[in-house]
Amino acid sequence: MRCFSEYGGTNAGVWLRTCYDADKEEKHAALFKEFVTECEVVGPDGLVLDDHELFATDLAGMLELLPERVTSSAGAYHVTWREENLREIEEEEEEEEEEEREMEDDTQTAGDKKRREMLGPKKSEQKLVRNRYSIYHAACIVTHVFVEDEEALETGLVLHIYLDDCGNVVRQERVDATSVSNFDGLWFDGAWKESIIPGDGQVVGPAYLPGGVRGPPYR
């Protein structure tokens, strides 16, 4: 299994099949044809993980078998770049907070306060984190996986997951085939980052939400 884990490097895509229900074989064949054969979301150098005994679990199960997909991909340069992005965001936050403190007493009305209380941190958490830390999230991502799960077979939308160097989910979203056509090429030249910034419609992974192991607050 070790040779497969690093085959093609992290520039090569991965297609992970986790649903093997016998009554969904036709849906599987049609979905695989549309995404892989026709739209080539995973190129010829990519990995197609299709084995009921090994992969009928979830993403965590795949990473237990093939940890090198994430652990061998982040070098010193990547870590430095990631931390520099975070420091820049922190500096911007400090400046914004200072400006808000200076203006708050003069401009914030009772109605403003009430609306903020009604919104609450949880309701806006995903959007706030996704927008504010999008550049940092892009810097944390080291590889990605297309997951053919039960929902994908029912909806035709495959789960596309972006991972960091510890196997944490940074971002994920449901995608159709045309939106990720020839994705290996987009990944290789870095154009995939355009979908992360700002990443509308994507879900931030638990590790990157407030209180998560790689989430805010960072200071």
pLDDT per position as a tens digit, 172-200 = 999 999 999 999 999 988 899 888 887 78
Residue extents of the structural domains in the chain: 1-219
pLDDT per position as a tens digit, 11-44 = 678 999 999 999 999 999 999 999 999 999 998 8
Burial 35-69 (b: 16+ CB within 10 A, else e): bbeebbbbbeebbebeeeeebeeebeebbebbebb
pLDDT per position as a tens digit, 53-78 = 989 888 888 888 888 888 765 566 66
End-to-end Cα distance, the chain = 41
